[in-house]
Chain A
Amino acid sequence: MPDQTGTGHPALLDGYAFDQRYFDEMFATGRTRPPQPRPHCEALIQALAELPADELGSLQKRVNRALLHEGITFTVYGDDESIERVFPVDCVPRLVPASEWEFIERGLVQRVQALNLFLADVYGRGLILRDGVVPEDLVRGCPNYRPEMEGVGVPLDAYVSVCGSDIVRTHDGFMVLEDNMRVPSGVSYMLACRQAIRRAWPRAFRSSRVRPVEQYPSELLRALQSLAPRVESPTVALLTPGVYNSAYYEHAFLASEMDIELVRGGDLVVLDDRLHMRTTHGLRPIDVLYRRLDDDFIDPRAFRADSVLGVPGLFEVYRKGNVAMANAPGTGVADDKSVYAFVPRIIRYYLDEDPILPNVETHLCREPAGLAYTLEHLDDLVVKAVGESGGYDMLVGRHASRAERDAFADRIRARPANYISQPTLDLSCAPCLIDGRLEPRHVDLRPFVLQGADTRVVPGGLCRVALRKGNLVVNSSQGGGAKDAWVVEGDTC
């Protein structure tokens, strides 16, 4: 079998199925020339080529064992057999050249700044609605719009302090697939992947001059502290729903790294208009709460009355400015999948700039034309429920049976405003170790943006990968895994 890849290691890449439809993150493919390693990947490819035949498999086992022993797990709801699952991490990293990263970084900073301005506006004067840039009924009717937030002062106007935006790439370039502005998760997996993969590839890691991500917890803490109301040394705590939450590992990890308390609702109490935690030596006030549960559950008096996860009276303390919360309640309106379609206009409206990172073409089923187009082209579209995340309540038309498409069409007709559609994207691929060989799998990238007194993006992010062949859904709840994302010096080709 000839070496198609120029790696000098034909056995490892034997049968690596290059598909011209998809951008390959490691190899430049063209119609007129054989695939070539991209320049910024050369050190890694060299390291791959130097590995003894079975070493990559052993290396993957070492990575898996490390993740298992460290309990790097997530939870899949409704799986009675095994609530905790080890997060699958592919041992071959995805590389992003510095020039591309700088483009992504600029685009994300622009996006988060614009969306924070949008949130301050819609919960304030509502100028963008009055000017008809975004339909008022779309915003006010959004399930994640919180009228309780109208007129509430938010420290630094940083409604979104932590944002995880999903970036995809096709042959047309990078695009933002969606923004996660409520309680974005995955950053601990990014850090855990980095630790495991750096151990696995020490020489390639050094020679590739990978930009560090380990500063994320300290930068997050700095951003959170900057939100604190009127105190010199603010007390910050992370509010978790508890050990059975799918992202509990992440909550514990971040609290540990930031050296702050990991609290549950039952640990907290409101007294004299302040939020306190119950300690072994009495009550201690909290100034900033990094909450990792949805708006609905943070306070049964303000939101869902049946919530046992939150703290009665918390929202009133927040409203009075006696505690800061990250992210602020009501940020979900900015990552609603219908509002997403308006983000380019939102950027132009507030910043008077063209969007650096484009959106994916989006059809709103709430509009007659969008509904008609969606129903007519269901075979080619991905349809998503506007209020859902994690790959739930969505249809990938290309991979669905006729009966599944028909059933989904009925759901769309019943509640058109609940759905949007997008073209099925030809997501880029990266090599993954599958059954002892490298095979291309579809990937995306979720970088994390921090907004406090300034805006920062940690170089890299969680590279999610659809481990099942041909699958385009990368969510861990749908069988996806992750790769380490290395931002390395160099340019792509």
Chain B
Amino acid sequence: MLARVADSLYWMARYLERAEFTARLVGLQIQRLPVGTAVEVAAGWRLLFAGIGNDPPESESLGNMEDDDFLFVDGYTLTDILTFEQGNPAAVANCLAAARENAREVRSAIGPGIWSSLNREYLALRRTRLVEVWKREPELLYRDVAEGIQRFHGICDSSMRRGTEWSFMQLGRYVERAQLVCSMLVAHCNDAAGREHGGEWPVLLRACNAFEAYGRECGGVFEESAVLGLLLHEGDLPYSLRFCLERLRENLDVIGPVPSDGLGTGPLEILSRLEEHSGDGAQRAGDRLLAAGDLRHLGELFRTFHDALEGSYAFRASDG
């Protein structure tokens, strides 16, 4: 398989994961604009921006919003920034466009059905005007985007051979997911202000499709240690770090050994370190061993893992 194709498949999947996760977070945030208090809404925006690594453009104002009208107008602006703002590479539309550009590079590898599925989602969002959507039920837009990306994965799931193409896509998908979850957990653990009003854990759990699972396992009280325990160690939950690590190992096994040595630490070795650092041998829910600092370290290890993938499979060798 061409190194450039592997690179494009990997990045296509990363951008799609980013677009889907951001869309889900924005949709959840919009849902509570009409019902949440100003403090809750402000905390939600703050965590959302911090979690996806965006600087909120008017961060000073986020803690001082009292007037409902202002709240809604500001909500529109922030939503626009996270969805369509051309200068924001993390905006949902830009992530989807970047995914599509990568898919164009590998049209011959993914086949027409998969390509056209992604192209349809891209065109649908490109035709959308937030000002129009905002007048009705804006959260539906984000539901549609997330479902469209899930549909794309469903088509891939049912039509792609489980070879190296598939595995590089899975690597991109789960590296991105793990980094996003780590980043969101760091933001939530650091959010002292948010904790004062009960925390934003339910929103994060919903964004990670883990709200119902939490309720079944831990009841209706949202505690940081229990949430961390679930999102780190519960191997049956698709958004837990353990789940992501298991998928990464499976797919590295499919891709096979690194073609050459001497390129520094290989991805398998980094993966072992990741498993060790996030494993439940060190701690379980409640002992607070994995505080924000530890989670940040995990996030950095995932970045190292990404670098090792690029170096080992010569992703960037063809650029020159």
Contacts and interface: CB of A to CB of B under 8 A. Distances in A.
A261 B165 CA distance: 12
A190 to B, nearest CB: 15
Nearest to A259: B108
Interface in B242-284: 255-256, 259-260
B318 A256 contact: no
Contact of A278 (B104, B107, B109, B318): B318
B289 interface: no
Interface string A255-291: 1100001111011000000000111111000000000
Nearest to A277: B2
A354 interface: no
Contacts of A254: 108
A253 interface: yes
Nearest to B319: A266
Interface string B283-320: 00000000000000000000000000000011001111
Given A243-B101, A264-B318, A266-B319, A282 B259 contact: yes
A251 B106 CA distance: 11
A282 B112 contact: no
Given A69-B123, A252-B108, A278-B314, A261 B2 contact: yes
Contacts of A404: none
B119 A69 contact: yes
A243 B259 contact: no
B6 A280 contact: yes
Of listed A238, A267, A277, A279, residue having the most chain B CB within 10 A: A279
A71 interface: yes
B34 to A, nearest CB: 35
B105 A243 contact: yes
Contacts of A69: 116, 119-120, 123
A423 to B, nearest CB: 42
Contact of B318 (A68, A248, A267): A267
A252 B110 CA distance: 10
A70 interface: yes
Of listed A248, A261, A280, residue having the most chain B CB within 10 A: A280
Given A69-B123, A71-B115, A71-B119, A278 B4 contact: yes
B4 A70 contact: no
A281 B259 contact: yes
Contacts of B119: 69-71
Interface residues of B, number: 31
Interface in B74-121: 101, 104-105, 107-109, 111-112, 115-116, 119-120
Interface string A274-318: 000111111000000000000000000000000000000000000
B218 interface: no
B114 to A, nearest CB: 10
B164 interface: yes
B108 A253 contact: yes
A264 B259 CA distance: 21
Interface residues of A, number: 26
B133 interface: no
A279 B2 contact: yes
Contact of A256 (B101, B105, B108, B319): B108
A264 B317 CA distance: 13
B255 A256 contact: no
Nearest to A71: B119
A243 B101 CA distance: 9
A295 to B, nearest CB: 23
A243 B4 CA distance: 13
Nearest to A283: B259
Contacts of A249: 107
A221 to B, nearest CB: 13
Contacts of B101: 243
Interface string A394-427: 0000000000000000000000000000000000
A275 B108 CA distance: 21
Contacts of A248: 104
B123 A68 contact: yes
A263 B2 contact: yes
Interface in A185-229: none
A280 B123 contact: no
Given A69-B116, A282-B260, A256 B107 contact: yes
A263 B2 CA distance: 8
B3 interface: yes
A264 B105 CA distance: 10
Contacts of A264: 4, 318
A278 B112 contact: no
B123 A278 contact: no
B318 to A, nearest CB: 4
Nearest to A260: B108
Of listed B101, B112, B256, B317, residue having the most chain A CB within 10 A: B112
B73 interface: no
Contacts of B314: 278, 280
Interface string B1-35: 11111100000000000000000000000000000
Contact of B3 (A68, A238, A252, A279): A279
Contacts of B5: 261
Nearest to A266: B318
Of listed B105, B108, B112, B168, residue having the most chain A CB within 10 A: B108
Contacts of B115: 70-71
A280 B112 contact: no
A263 B255 CA distance: 20
Contacts of B320: 266
Contacts of B104: 71, 243, 248, 252
A255 B108 contact: yes
A252 B318 contact: no
Given A68-B123, A70-B119, A256-B108, A278 B317 contact: yes
Given A280-B255, A282-B260, 18 more contacts: A71-B107, A71-B119, A243-B104, A252-B104, A252-B107, A256-B112, A262-B107, A262-B108, A262-B109, A266-B318, A267-B2, A267-B4, A267-B318, A278-B3, A280-B313, A280-B314, A281-B1, A282-B259
Interface of A: 68-71, 238, 243, 248-249, 251-256, 261-264, 266-267, 277-282
28 contacts: A69-B116, A70-B112, A70-B116, A70-B119, A71-B107, A243-B101, A252-B107, A252-B108, A253-B107, A254-B108, A256-B109, A256-B111, A256-B112, A262-B109, A264-B318, A267-B4, A267-B318, A277-B2, A278-B4, A278-B318, A279-B2, A280-B1, A280-B6, A280-B314, A281-B256, A281-B259, A282-B259, A282-B260
3 closest cross-chain pairs (CB), A and B: A252-B107, A255-B108, A256-B108
